[in-house]
């Protein structure tokens, strides 16, 4: 309530502004997905002190300048991440087309020009796409490479690295982390051996069914509930988080239009026949080999209902978590 009333640091106000959000409508997800990435961008690409200074400064004009710099860094981070993701996907596709027609159960990806500050995000993206424990590596000093690991339910990534280190003494230089994320360093010359050891550990701990992602839906919304007022109510009902997830809905819809926006996101127009309404939906980071699919007339979506604001006009929008032909 204090932040919505404008009672917050000039730096927060400036970051909210460059993220094209309004303080009066601010919710926790705005902090997590709009303000947070801009603050983090400085530490990922240059020096985290810029983000700290933005939060501490008292002069709104200076805060605006810092926020603009952080916003630019975030755009650069997105560009670097996008390039790295395309390189990773291309490498994994070649792996599938080669002698090894199936992907390893534990994925390790590495390029010599990748940026250390972005490998954690990259590992998360690849893990989400293929639903396998994933480690992304980037060059470090002294002939070593640094890895950032992300995992799936049922595979404690820190314990898995501990098991690899025990079975193969000296293979991992150092590591640390917890169940779902970890960091490590290995020698570049040992990457192939580590890949094999990590994949073997994944095979020991996982079953084939574990490699299929699972979403838990709160059910199907009626057409009447796919509405701005319900979206606004859900938006204000948070904060959502671990142990208290934002409601997820599912349903089959008439697909009226589909197009790629922002190079890798799929914008959909969904028909609601009973009310003769059209609702927008968006799916982020889709597989461009599969989407858009012009043959489809019906589509199945798992989604969260949110509010989209464009030029001062608010509408309900489906934030797609999963999509497939109906």
Spell out the residues 6+ positions from residue 164 whose beta carbon is closer than 8 angstroms to its own. 171, 172, 194, 197, 198, 201
What is the predicted pLDDT for the residue at 193?
Answer: 98
Considering only the C-alpha atoms of the chain, give the largest distance between any 2 of them, rounded to a whole number of Å: 65
Pick the closest to residue 89 from 115, 137, 126, 132 (CA basis): 126
Q: What is the mean pLDDT of residues 188-193?
A: 98
Contact assessment for residue 298 and residue 252, using Cβ atoms and an 8 Å cutoff = yes
Domain spans, the chain: 2-89, 95-211, 223-325
DSSP states along 233-297: HHHHT---BTTBPPP-EEEEEEEEEEEEETTTEEEEEEEETTTTEEEEEEESS--TTT-S-TT-S
Q: What is the mean pLDDT of residues 46-75?
A: 96
pLDDT at 44 over 70: yes
Which token pair is 248?
A: 């997820």
What is the predicted pLDDT for the residue at 96?
Answer: 73
Q: What is the DSSP letter of 210?
A: G
What is the predicted pLDDT for the residue at 239?
Answer: 85
What is the predicted pLDDT for the residue at 101?
Answer: 60
Name the residue with higher pLDDT: 73 or 263. Answer: 73
pLDDT at 97 over 80: no
- Computed over every residue of the chain, the mean pLDDT equals 93
211-259 confidence digits (pLDDT tens) = 998 899 999 999 999 999 999 999 888 788 888 899 999 999 999 999 9
Pairing status of strand 134-139 against strand 144-150: antiparallel
CA dihedral over 299, 305, 309, 314, signed as positive or negative: positive
What is the predicted pLDDT for the residue at 25?
Answer: 84
Spell out the residues 6+ positions from residue 238 whose beta carbon is closer than 8 angstroms to its own. 27, 28, 29, 246
- pTM to 2 decimals? 0.88
Pick the closest to residue 249 from 299, 322, 171 (CA basis): 322
pLDDT at 98 over 80: no
pLDDT at 299 over 90: yes
> Torsion over CA of 73, 136, 291 and 210, rounded to 10 degrees?
-140
Q: Which fold has domain 95-211?
A: Diaminopimelate Epimerase; Chain A, domain 1 (3.10.310)
Q: What is the CATH number of domain 223-325?
A: 2.40.50.460
| C-alpha distances in Å from residue 218, one per residue of 157, 232, 246, 250 | 29, 18, 10, 8
In angstroms, rounded to a whole number, what is the distance separating the alpha carbons of residues 47 and 45?
7
- What 3-state class would DSSP assign to 126? helix
Chain position carrying tokens 């978590």: 321
What is the predicted pLDDT for the residue at 301?
Answer: 97
Q: How confident is the model at residue 135 (pLDDT cuts 50, 70, 90)?
A: very high
DSSP states along 52-88: HHHHH---HHHHHHHHHHHHHHHHHHHHHHHHHHHHH
In angstroms, rounded to a whole number, what is the distance separating the alpha carbons of residues 48 and 207?
40
């Amino acid at each position: 309530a204090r932040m919505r009333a404008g009672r917050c640091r000039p730096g927060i106000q400036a970051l909210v502004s460059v993220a094209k959000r309004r303080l009066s409508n601010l919710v926790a997800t705005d902090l997590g997905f709009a303000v947070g990435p801009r603050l983090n961008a400085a530490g990922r690409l240059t020096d985290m002190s810029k983000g700290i200074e933005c939060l501490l400064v008292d002069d709104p004009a200076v805060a605006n300048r810092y926020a603009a710099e952080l916003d630019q860094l975030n755009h650069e981070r997105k560009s670097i991440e996008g390039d790295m993701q395309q390189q990773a996907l291309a490498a994994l596709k070649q792996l599938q087309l080669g002698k090894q027609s199936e992907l390893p159960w534990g994925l390790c990806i590495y390029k010599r020009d990748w940026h250390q500050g972005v490998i954690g995000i990259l590992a998360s993206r690849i893990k989400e796409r293929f639903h396998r424990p994933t480690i992304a590596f980037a060059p470090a000093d002294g002939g070593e490479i640094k890895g950032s690991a992300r995992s799936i339910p049922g595979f404690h990534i820190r314990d898995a690295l501990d098991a690899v280190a025990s079975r193969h003494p000296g293979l991992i230089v150092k590591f640390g982390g917890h169940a779902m994320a970890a960091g490590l360093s290995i020698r570049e010359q040992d990457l192939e051996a580590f890949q094999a050891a990590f994949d073997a550990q994944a095979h020991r701990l996982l079953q084939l069914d574990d490699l299929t992602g699972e979403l838990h839906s709160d059910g199907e919304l009626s057409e009447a509930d796919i509405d701005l007022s319900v979206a606004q109510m859900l938006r204000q009902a948070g904060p959502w988080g671990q142990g208290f997830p934002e409601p997820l809905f599912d349903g089959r819809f008439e697909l009226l239009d589909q197009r790629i926006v922002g190079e890798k996101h799929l914008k959909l127009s969904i028909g609601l026949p009973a009310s003769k309404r059209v609702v927008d939906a968006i799916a982020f980071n889709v597989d461009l080999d599969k989407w858009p699919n012009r043959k489809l007339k019906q589509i199945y979506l798992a989604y969260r209902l949110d509010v989209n604001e464009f030029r001062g006009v608010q509408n309900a929008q489906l934030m797609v978590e999963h999509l497939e032909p109906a």
